Amino acid sequence: MESFRVRSLYDFTGEPNTAELSISAGQILTVIRTDVGEGWWEGINENGRSGLFPQAYVEKIDFTQPPAAPPPTLPPPNNVGWSGTQPVPVQSTVSQEDDWDDDWDNDETYSEIGGNNVPPVENIYSNDRNLNSNNLPPDFPGESNLNIDGKGSVTKKSLNRFSSYVKSGLESYILGTVNPTSNCYKIKIRKENETIRWDPITNPYTVQIASPKKASKMGGLKSFIAYHVTPSFSGIEVARRYKHFDWLHDRLRAKYNIISIPPLPDKQVSGRYEEHFIEHRRMQLQEFINYMCRHPVLSQSEVWHHFLTCTDEKQWKQGKRNAERDQMVGANFCLQIDAPDKELLASNVEATMEMNINSINQIDQALKGLMQTVVDQQKKCSNMYKREMQKVGESFFALGTAFESAEKGMFSDFTTDIKRMGSTYMTIGKLFEDQSKVDWQSLADKLYIYKGITGCYPDIFCLQRSAEQKKRECEKNVQVQQPQLLEIRKRTDVLTYAVFAELAHFHSEKDGEIKQAMKLFLQEQVNFYKNIVSKLEDTLQRFQ
């Protein structure tokens, strides 16, 4: 592409040990690439150093015009690196009661510790937690930094689709510079009838989340909701807050970046103690837990089992620190995988990946479209359809009242039946409002889980392709010895085997779970309309 020059509008400090380029306001840069990734450009500064910087931090300049005066000193957008390590300044927006961003170790006074792209059409369905972003510029194209909608949900969007690659440790894994710890357990991948799968769960279990209760700490200064979680293999109930789920989710994403982690419900700023919101969040967390229990790898994760079983506060904190010190994270997690020894053919890998990329993209777009429709229907049932039916009922009721008035107080079965007809339609309006919580909301919750899962796959595919690219670079490098090259090929194949196994699990889960969700939805729809027909038939019998 043809290079062009830009002027930086804000200071930007690049993350250490990454390809990011630090720039200062008013600096002139020469852009050499604009196709790096969503929202990032590559350029060269006046000292000849090249690197990446956010597109929204610069503006194109035309040297045929007189140079513009430097921009006034304004508060710059929050400094963002690919790793998204800076905290989002939400304190001014979140009430003092809201403590979902507290440090984990602030729980000394919590006595229950043993015993967090479809447009955001609704607060409970707008989160893409699998995308990691913090502190985007307020005018960043096509994205938002911290969006708080009218319902009080907090959503995030990704600044850069390759952020997980930078943090993945892919290069150290492919080159073999990190050795597995001696006590790490092995995760087996099987190849059965040309299908690559994770080793199935040998001891399946379930986990129930129930009895959400409002609790407090710091002498009642801070309130929160405690959810009671009970795994079937222990039968011991533990209390967990949303921020504990949030921490768990972050650790899972850090460790298993070749596995699609199901999303959590959005963080909530307002209305967190409303009964309907608490119950619905419990249902969403149950969907998250159910998927975790069914996954052959995630269900056996040490951090997951620590979350489910720990009842001692000291052990709880120690387990947290152990999880955060885990070396087998990112691509290095593949060192725990016992994959088939058979080398994968490059042509087969490329064809399979291309097929899955197209398939996942189509599924993702279809899920987003259906989910938008489902949420729209849910809103219409609880608002528009309810109002319309009540309007019809009120009109019939008014006619019956008018007939009674014309008869000068002499009641007849006819006028009574007309008023009853009006009451029937008003009841149907209320049925629409209640039904939306039974069928549409339940279906939306299931679609939300799978929309979040498909949203993880672009990063997974990017990681696999980057591994293949690194392998090809090593094959062209004459300094790489043959024994080392064989190990590089083997490690690349292990990562690819893991991606194939994860795809096989996704397709298997999708077919069973979404089919069941559709059956339940249709059954509830049948029951709903049968109820309406029954009420209309009862009203009709009055006239006969």
Judge whether 53 lies within some domain.
Answer: no
Residue 204 is predicted with a pLDDT of 94
Q: How far apart are CA 255 and CA 259, in angstroms?
A: 9
Domain residues for the domain of 485 are: 165-372+441-529
Phi and psi (nearest 5°) for 89? -80, 85
Judge whether 64 lies within some domain.
Answer: no
Q: Give the CATH number, domain containing residue 213.
A: 3.30.1520.10
Judge whether 117 lies within some domain.
Answer: no
Q: How far apart are the first and last CA of the chain?
A: 80
Q: What is the pLDDT of residues 144-155, one digit of tens each?
A: 333 444 455 544
Q: How far apart are CA 201 and CA 187, in angstroms?
A: 11
Residue 58 is predicted with a pLDDT of 86
Residue 447 is predicted with a pLDDT of 94
Res 388 pLDDT > 70: yes
Which tops the pLDDT comparison, 283 or 78?
Answer: 283
Res 493 pLDDT > 90: yes
Highest mean pLDDT among 34-43, 156-165, 175-184, 453-462: 453-462
Judge whether 470 lies within some domain.
Answer: yes
Judge whether 311 lies within some domain.
Answer: yes
Highest mean pLDDT among 16-20, 69-73, 242-246: 242-246
Residue 19 is predicted with a pLDDT of 78
Give the whole-number percent of the chain exceeding pLDDT 90: 46
Res 34 pLDDT > 80: yes
Judge whether 418 lies within some domain.
Answer: no
pTM of the prediction? 0.70
Q: What is the pLDDT of residues 314-354, one digit of tens each?
A: 999 999 999 988 888 888 899 999 999 999 998 999 999 99
Chain centre to alpha carbon of residue 179: 31
Residue 63 is predicted with a pLDDT of 55
Residue 181 is predicted with a pLDDT of 65
Residue 113 is predicted with a pLDDT of 36
CB-side neighbour CA atoms (13 Å) of 299: 21
DSSP for 284-299, written as a single string: HHHHHHHHHHH-TTGG
Res 474 pLDDT > 50: yes
Judge whether 3 lies within some domain.
Answer: no
Phi and psi (nearest 5°) for 101? -105, 10
Q: What is the pLDDT of residues 43-55, one digit of tens each?
A: 899 888 888 888 8
Highest mean pLDDT among 161-165, 220-224, 263-267: 263-267
Q: If pLDDT is split at 50, 70 and 90, which confidence band does 182 have?
A: low
Query: How many structural domains is the chain composed of?
Result: 1
Residue 145 is predicted with a pLDDT of 36
Rounded to the nearest 10°, the torsion over CA 77, 80, 85, 86 is -10
Q: How far apart are CA 163 and CA 131, in angstroms?
A: 9
